[in-house]
Structure 1
Amino acid sequence: MLPLKQPPPLPSPVHLGSEGLDVVTQPESTRAAGGLLDHLVAPALTRVARGSRDDNSPQEPWHLRNMISKSRWKLLAMLALFLAVMVWYSISREDRYIELFYFPVPGKKEPCLQGEAEKMVSKLFGNYSREQPFFLQLKDYFWVKTPSLYELPYGTKGSEDLLLRVLAITSYSIPESIQSLKCRRCVVVGNGHRLRNSSLGEAINKYDVVIRLNSAPVAGYEQDVGSKTTMRLFYPESAHFNPKVEDNPDTLLVLVAFKAMDFHWIESILSDKKRVRKGFWKQPPLIWDVNPKQIRILNPFYMEIAADKLLSLPIHQPHKIKQKPTTGLLAITLALHLCDLVHIAGFGYPDAHQKKQSIHYYEYITLKSMMWSGHNVSQEALAIKRMLEIGAVKNLTYF
């Protein structure tokens, strides 16, 4: 009896050509089972590998599961791709936000170009604004009566005689340490909650001129806000009761006069006259230990152009509570005229829906307190963003 002739074994692996199909390797158990089993299994493996297009041939159940599994992986891959695109888009938007309104604190001093801020000032306020003095001077009210078109806070009309007495006991000069600088690097430190845990204190202290606002404290917050104060803008109700604790001995205290009573208050303090107690929305200090030679009276011109050029506010307003710029926006306006490089920190208010978020880094006070202040915080936010966009100022904190 002649032995049965075994069919040749199926080659392993099975190469499927250049159609982009997968390579199928013959299982080890199939090779060991003998030629007959190989002869029966090989065509099935070949059909599966090639994805048989014969519609009449029956589909094996495990092949169906394989197809379903592959479809599921395709869906998951598409979903992963979609999520990756969304994350990329979100990051790119955030990068643009950071590029426009925030820049990291440099390890070294940023290069300062003389006249850099002056170019920006001409775009915002016009060239004529660079010719105005920063502080009011006695000579402009003693020998002649300097005419003013507007009353306080945009001019001195009607307050000239009172102002004359104040200017006789204060000063107007800019310290030589600032005047002698070839290029002035300045930072305006706002009072915003965003300064908390910012660790910006060391960076802030490195600027040539550090401008602070109102009664914002330094003691106890040095790590976040620094300890150096070149100028502090204030009005009577916002004056700190003990300025020697929060300011340096050479700090200039710059009075921003909103009303005639503000001149009455500073005169009574510096001349030790009977204190003025009425006419303020909040009682200002009655005892204020300061050196009169460190006091400056801000030129109301800067209040006028901040209102007109940045906020588009009418100078003549019929309402009892008139809209006016904040001390912060006023300080930025002043810095743009005084300095060559202007950075800001701690500006911006919480979103409207964050009603319980504090607006200051040093005390709990909410946005509700601004309701009757006469300040349009939304309009000011747009003005600051515009200055950031054109590069007039840069931000040390997010905005």
Structure 2
Amino acid sequence: MGDLIHEQGEQNGSFTHSRSELRLKMSLKAVKTWFLRLLPFVLCFICYYCSQFYFESYGVKSPQPTASLCHSFNSQRKWESLTLNISRKQDLFLKLEDFFWKYHPSPEALPYGVKGSELLLLKILAVTSKYTMPSNIERSDCRTCAVIGNGFAIKNSSLGEIINKYDVVIRLNNAPVRGYEEDVGNKTTLRMFYPESASYNPELNDDPDTLQDQKGFWKPPPLIWLGRPAQIRVLDPYFLRITARKLLRIPLKPTKQEKIVHPTTGILAVFVALNYCNVVHVAGFGYPESRNYQQPIHYYGQETMKSMKNSYHDLNQEAQVLKTLEEQGVIFYLHPHS
């Protein structure tokens, strides 16, 4: 009898031990199951902080264009750091009712002034119906602006969603939006171009309400242009003149020994934004080294640095100016750059 009880006790002990092992295995299985379920979230969490570290290591913090960012930005101090000895000018476009020569005759011809083009501009301004930015932007106390360059640097940046959040999005020339929305967004408030670089049909690239801003030209524009007159604005030549003379130190009337140089649309757009906006962020700026003629220069198309070989722009000087503006905190890049 005693042996039977002892044997049964051993069996009970073995059974209890087996149950404990079973519970342990079930617990480990449950933990493993939950871990596998949580793993994607853990990886996302890790990836997020790794990306934050990556951006911060390059000096980029992916700022959101919120009101708090706008109000924390001391725009007056940033503007004064430009040391241009001029005041900010927030009336961007020429108007018919206060036509230019009523206040000051223009000493320069296009594109730096209107001398010799007064009658032509009168005709253009007479058929355009609006002369300001959209009213909700005009009334804003603090404007956040993104100037989107056409450079290859913005390709595969996935900045589209962030770009769309700015109050004002400025684009350049005929750079496409459709098909590139993930990187460059699809919001366009103002598209700046010289008439000769205009797309014959602006609606191929933009929303129909996008303002089309012309700046004067030195060669014939397209003979056929399907833009709507109500969306046309003529940028005050003042902005190009000051960009050339004070920002880039370009002589407006070069001597025979000096090369003719004009500001790019990009550097002009940055200066316009600095006048009009409280916060200015940029993306898609910068060219590859001029020696590398095979490097693509745009996020679209096939053009390379070879096409810039004989351009009327001083790319090195503009790159230095942009670098100075960045170092002073006047502009902020949305992506890493060289």
> What TM-score comes out, normalization by structure 2 length?
0.77
Task: Please tell me whether residue 313 in structure 1 is matched to residue 250 in structure 2.
Answer: yes
Match of 1:294 in 2: 231
Change (3 A) 1:148 1:255: same
- Separation (CA, whole Å) in 1 of partners of 2:166 and 2:90: 24
- Give yes or no for contact 1:322–1:374 (8 Å, CA) kept in 2: yes
Q: Tell me which amino acid in the other structure corresponds to 1:188.
A: V
Task: Please tell me whether residue 104 in structure 1 is matched to residue 94 in structure 2.
Answer: no
- Root-mean-square deviation over aligned CA pairs: 2.4
- Give yes or no for contact 2:152–2:299 (8 Å, CA) kept in 1: yes
Shift of 1:364: 1.2
Change (3 A) 1:376 1:304: same
- Separation (CA, whole Å) in 2 of partners of 1:293 and 1:310: 32
- Separation (CA, whole Å) in 2 of partners of 1:96 and 1:107: 15
Q: 3-state DSSP class of the match of 1:129?
A: coil
- Separation (CA, whole Å) in 1 of partners of 2:175 and 2:321: 23
Match of 2:120 in 1: 162
Change (3 A) 1:244 1:108: closer
Shift of 1:318: 3.0
Runs (5+) with no aligned partner, structure 2: 1-53
Change (3 A) 1:143 1:388: closer
Shift of 1:111: 1.1
- How many residues end up aligned between the 2 structures? 281
Cα-to-partner distance string for 1:216-269 (whole Å, 9 max, x where unaligned): 00000000000000000011221112211211122110001133xxxxxxxxxx
Q: 3-state DSSP class of the match of 1:302?
A: helix
Shift of 1:292: 0.9
Q: Tell me which amino acid in the other structure corresponds to 2:198.
A: A
Task: Please tell me whether residue 358 in structure 1 is matched to residue 296 in structure 2.
Answer: yes
Which of 168, 183, 186 is residue 227 of structure 1 equivalent to? Answer: 186
Matches within 5 A, 1:4-43: none
Which of 287, 304, 320 is residue 349 of structure 1 equivalent to? Answer: 287
Shift of 1:288: 2.2
- Separation (CA, whole Å) in 2 of partners of 1:316 and 1:140: 28
- Separation (CA, whole Å) in 2 of partners of 1:207 and 1:383: 24
- Separation (CA, whole Å) in 2 of partners of 1:345 and 1:382: 16
Task: Please tell me whether residue 251 in structure 1 is matched to residue 210 in structure 2.
Answer: yes
Which of 76, 81, 85 is residue 123 of structure 1 equivalent to? Answer: 81
Runs (5+) with no aligned partner, structure 1: 1-93, 260-278
Q: Which moved more, 1:284-293 or 1:169-178?
A: 284-293
Q: 3-state DSSP class of the match of 2:71?
A: coil
Match of 1:188 in 2: 147
- Separation (CA, whole Å) in 2 of partners of 1:154 and 1:237: 16
Work out the percentage of aligned pairs sharing the same amino acid: 48
Shift of 1:164: 1.2
Q: Tell me which amino acid in the other structure corresponds to 2:321.
A: A
- Give yes or no for contact 2:214–2:234 (8 Å, CA) kept in 1: yes
Shift of 1:105: 1.6
- Give yes or no for contact 1:114–1:182 (8 Å, CA) kept in 2: no
Matches within 5 A, 1:266-285: 279-280=219-220, 284-285=221-222
- Separation (CA, whole Å) in 2 of partners of 1:294 and 1:331: 18
- Separation (CA, whole Å) in 2 of partners of 1:317 and 1:108: 41
Cα-to-partner distance string for 1:114-159 (whole Å, 9 max, x where unaligned): 8733432333264643246311111233883740121221111121
- Separation (CA, whole Å) in 2 of partners of 1:188 and 1:353: 27
Cα-to-partner distance string for 1:84-124 (whole Å, 9 max, x where unaligned): xxxxxxxxxx999833xxx1323673611287334323332
- Give yes or no for contact 2:84–2:247 (8 Å, CA) kept in 1: no
- Give yes or no for contact 1:233–1:331 (8 Å, CA) kept in 2: yes
- Give yes or no for contact 1:336–1:342 (8 Å, CA) kept in 2: yes
Q: Tell me which amino acid in the other structure corresponds to 1:304.
A: R
Task: Please tell me whether residue 203 in structure 1 is matched to residue 176 in structure 2.
Answer: no
- Give yes or no for contact 2:81–2:328 (8 Å, CA) kept in 1: no
> What TM-score comes out, normalization by structure 1 length?
0.65
- Separation (CA, whole Å) in 2 of partners of 1:293 and 1:149: 29
After TM superposition, the runs of 4+ consecutive aligned structure 1 residues lying more than 4 A away are: 94-97
- Separation (CA, whole Å) in 2 of partners of 1:185 and 1:108: 6
Q: Which moved more, 1:112-121 or 1:230-239?
A: 112-121
Shift of 1:358: 0.5
Find the structure with the greater CA-based Rg. 1
Task: Please tell me whether residue 134 in structure 1 is matched to residue 71 in structure 2.
Answer: no
Change (3 A) 1:203 1:172: same
Matches within 5 A, 1:40-55: none
Q: Tell me which amino acid in the other structure corresponds to 2:246.
A: K
Change (3 A) 1:317 1:203: same
Q: Which moved more, 1:126-135 or 1:210-219?
A: 126-135
Match of 1:324 in 2: 262
- Separation (CA, whole Å) in 1 of partners of 2:216 and 2:322: 23
Change (3 A) 1:125 1:325: farther
- Give yes or no for contact 1:118–1:337 (8 Å, CA) kept in 2: no
- Separation (CA, whole Å) in 2 of partners of 1:344 and 1:108: 12
Cα-to-partner distance string for 1:310-331 (whole Å, 9 max, x where unaligned): 2111121135962111000000
Match of 1:264 in 2: none
